[in-house]
Structure 1
Amino acid sequence: MSAESTPEPVIPEPGETGPRRRSRKALRAAAWTAAGVVALGGAGGGYLYFKLNGNIRSVDIDQALGTDRPTKIDNGSENILVLGSDTRSGANRKLGGGIDDGSARSDTAMIVHVYEGHKRASVVSVPRDTLIDRPACTDTKGTRHPAASGVMFNESYATGGAACAVKTVESLTGIRMDHYLEVDFAGFQKLIDDLGGVPVTTTKTIDDPQSHLDLRAGTHTLDGQQALGLVRTRHGVGDGSDLGRIELQQAFVKALLDQVKHVGVFSNPKKLYDLADTATKTVTTDSDLGSVNSLIDFADGLKGIGSRHMTMITMPVQYDPSDPNRVLMQKQKAQLVWDALKNDRPIPKSATTGTATGEAKGVVSAP
């Protein structure tokens, strides 16, 4: 699925919204595994390089947004908007259910801040159900979309694709996004299978027919379908909200990163190629990352960041008093987060103290 053809929202299934999160995780794995193609080498390396290069889809965010953007902060840090997306067509229709209407949604959004030195990162999840004022934006096809007030955050992607999603995040945070990465959930499922599954431990039984997930409390190695179910589920876990699903997704991201680093793909050329092939087909990037060489350089800069060096939070929000199914950004606390990232500093604990949570923290972890 491409950045313009899809992002995260899938047709609203009862209590569904999770495919997008897995996307972000997949994209990190995608970057790392794509970087691994350099290890293939040999006479066949050139052919494989061009094949993998041809898999990658990219969108020119900079051209669409022009110069009306936050100033780029040159302190050695990087900010990446990661979206998980799905379309209502092809393989994604089969996975997500619903009508093949060709629509695209993006319900998983993470702002990844890589600190100077590229040894640590902070990740801020933006709930799709956050009510915002969306700025006017121009998509990558040149279509202008007027501003809208009181709309859900994920409406920006559904309206104008990747460019409008980036514009909205930059408007909310005052921070320029250096890169954009999008992963579709059909590709995410295959990526997990290519990895050989991801081990997780659940402290509670999770049984959610709507996401086709039934896990007893204990340790499991999740295949692609189970992993997709986990990052989509919210019923029967925590308070049943999208915030709870985000907490599950963040825990799975960490388990996935650990698995990517320890699965030993670099010593197995076929596994390496399979992962690189899936990864490059799964991601859509901004044009600066739209080649295997660029992804290799990008991934190389992230390889020192493991799950222990990553802080993950949800953007400070509170439930909307007039609609418990929606949340509102807590502006003062959120500003603490944005100021920390702008200045390349750790996010203070006070930024998330007393904010709404999904009560699902600790339910899932790496073994």
Structure 2
Amino acid sequence: MSHDLSTPVPPARHSPPGKRGNRRAQKRKRRTGRIVLFSLLALVLALGGTGYWLYSDLDGNIEGVDLDEAIGDDRPEKLPTSGQNILILGSDSRAGDNAELNTGKVAGARSDTALVMHIPEGRTEAVAVSIPRDTLVTRPECTKPDGSQVASAERVMFNSIYSQVGPACVVKTVEKMSGVRMDHYMEIDFAGFKDLVDAIGGVTVTVDQDIHDPSSGLDLTAGTHRLDGTESLQFVRTRHGVGDGSDLGRIGLQQQFMVALLSEIKRQDLLGSPTKTYKVADTLTSSLTTDSELASLSALVDFGRSLNGVDPADMETIMLPVAYDKTDPNRVVPAEPQASTLWKAIRSDQDIPESAKKSPAGGKTS
């Protein structure tokens, strides 16, 4: 069970606007902006404490996906600059050992979190665009991992593509809807975080209102709590009792959890404990799938080091502007012209206009 570490505080979302609210909003923006960067730096930190003799053991943990072979030539052109685009998925697998952790009735694995991380030329700043899992999209014709072909389909829920066709089709779908070529792909299995959270002794999160979600099993009072691995999985799966009960509220909880987890790894000075360092690195790499170019420790470490110039305070995380679907109000669709403006800015390696950050479903997306 979680342990309440502070006196409950009034829900911040009902506070009147003002300087304090603005400061809190800026703070949340800086914290969520650390998600992707800290995930890479935390991995580099953990791997840095392991001996070379463990290299092959950990290196064998990472699974790779050959995107060029799986997708073929039907892809957008690469950026004419040295900018980079990475699709990062947080998958919620119900297969194998993870089946014991499934509190719901859904079978298979789904991409519960999707981020397009854009690192402009120069690599001194970055932006990550969250794609809501309930977004209705057009899925292009794709090839399954077994070689069979799947026809194109319209009005497909974004997170179903992963379980039905595979990760390469998720990449192809994102490239088709955005016109942005993904240079790399990274997938982190949320269920794999259970062992990681337990290995580091738990993760501390603060919620500004009570959360009671029978579907995920999460039961938290407003305040600060130390979550174990099982409770952490409940936290990232929660959607009911948060906001309007849709995926838009869950995105915020998942971002908060990722920041808290990876900040905890960074805070613990893993270099001082080789045993814990190896355990954490083993857990991280065991739950990681990447494109074939990043599917080795040396490639991951080199890529992480290339991001050293990115200041987390200047990294922005926003949500793809969406509107509630007119036919099915439980689903959302990309809002226009905001979505097109956002993707155009990324394709041209330009700053994202403020007009592209306004979402009919959820207001400002930053």
Task: Report the TM-score, using the length of structure 2 for normalisation.
Answer: 0.83
SS at the partner of 1:150?
strand
Q: 1:57 — aligned with what?
A: 63
Q: 1:321 — aligned with what?
A: 326
8 Å Cα contact 2:47/2:278 also seen in 1: no
8 Å Cα contact 1:127/1:315 also seen in 2: yes
Aligned length: 333
Query: 1:171, 1:289 → 2: CA distance?
Result: 23
Q: 2:17 — aligned with what?
A: none
Q: Percent identity?
A: 48
Which aligned pairs between 1:124-143 and structure 2 lie closer than 5 A?
124-143=129-148
Q: 1:114 — aligned with what?
A: 119
8 Å Cα contact 1:133/1:148 also seen in 2: yes
Q: 2:168 — aligned with what?
A: 163
Deviations 1:144-177 (A, max 9, x none): 2110111111232222201101000000100000
1:190 to 195, 214, 221: 195
8 Å Cα contact 1:319/1:325 also seen in 2: yes
Cα 1:265/1:193, change in 2 over 3 Å: same
1:286 aligns to 2:291 (yes or no):
yes
SS at the partner of 2:358?
coil
Cα 1:115/1:73, change in 2 over 3 Å: same
Instruction: Using the TM superposition, name which of 319-328 and 300-309 deviates more.
Output: 300-309
Cα 1:104/1:265, change in 2 over 3 Å: same
Deviations 1:283-323 (A, max 9, x none): 01110011111111122223454652321111111001221
Query: 2:308, 2:214 → 1: CA distance?
Result: 37
Query: 2:307, 2:261 → 1: CA distance?
Result: 15
1:36 aligns to 2:41 (yes or no):
no
Q: 1:330 — aligned with what?
A: 335
Residue identity in the other structure for 1:81:
L
Instruction: Using the TM superposition, name which of 92-101 and 211-220 deviates more.
Output: 92-101
Q: 2:94 — aligned with what?
A: 88
Q: 1:205 — aligned with what?
A: 210
User: What displacement does 1:137 show?
Assistant: 1.3
Query: 2:274, 2:226 → 1: CA distance?
Result: 23
Cα 1:338/1:27, change in 2 over 3 Å: closer
SS at the partner of 1:256?
helix
Query: 1:298, 1:221 → 2: CA distance?
Result: 32
User: What displacement does 1:239 show?
Assistant: 0.8
Query: 2:202, 2:192 → 1: CA distance?
Result: 14
Task: Report the TM-score, using the length of structure 1 for normalisation.
Answer: 0.83
8 Å Cα contact 1:88/1:99 also seen in 2: no
Query: 1:295, 1:325 → 2: CA distance?
Result: 38
Deviations 1:204-224 (A, max 9, x none): 121223212122212223322
Residue identity in the other structure for 1:36:
L
User: What displacement does 1:230 show?
Assistant: 1.6
Residue identity in the other structure for 1:95:
L
Query: 1:268, 1:343 → 2: CA distance?
Result: 44
User: What displacement does 1:330 show?
Assistant: 1.0
8 Å Cα contact 1:137/1:146 also seen in 2: yes
Cα 1:163/1:301, change in 2 over 3 Å: same
Query: 1:303, 1:175 → 2: CA distance?
Result: 24
Q: 2:237 — aligned with what?
A: 232
Query: 1:124, 1:201 → 2: CA distance?
Result: 24
8 Å Cα contact 2:323/2:361 also seen in 1: yes
Query: 2:37, 2:195 → 1: CA distance?
Result: 14
SS at the partner of 1:55?
coil
User: What displacement does 1:279 show?
Assistant: 0.6
Cα 1:39/1:151, change in 2 over 3 Å: closer
Rg larger in structure: 2
1:77 aligns to 2:83 (yes or no):
yes
Cα 1:322/1:90, change in 2 over 3 Å: same
RMSD: 2.5
Which aligned pairs between 1:345-360 and structure 2 lie closer than 5 A?
345-357=350-362
Residue identity in the other structure for 2:214:
P
Cα 1:139/1:334, change in 2 over 3 Å: same
Instruction: Using the TM superposition, name which of 75-84 and 339-348 deviates more.
Output: 339-348
Q: Structure 1, unaligned stretches of length 5 or more?
A: 1-24, 363-367
User: What displacement does 1:352 show?
Assistant: 2.4
SS at the partner of 2:147?
coil
Instruction: Using the TM superposition, name which of 90-99 and 294-303 deviates more.
Output: 90-99
Residue identity in the other structure for 2:126:
A
Deviations 1:62-89 (A, max 9, x none): 1111111001114222111111213332
Deviations 1:74-109 (A, max 9, x none): 4222111111213332221111135796x3322321
8 Å Cα contact 2:112/2:133 also seen in 1: yes
Q: 2:264 — aligned with what?
A: 259
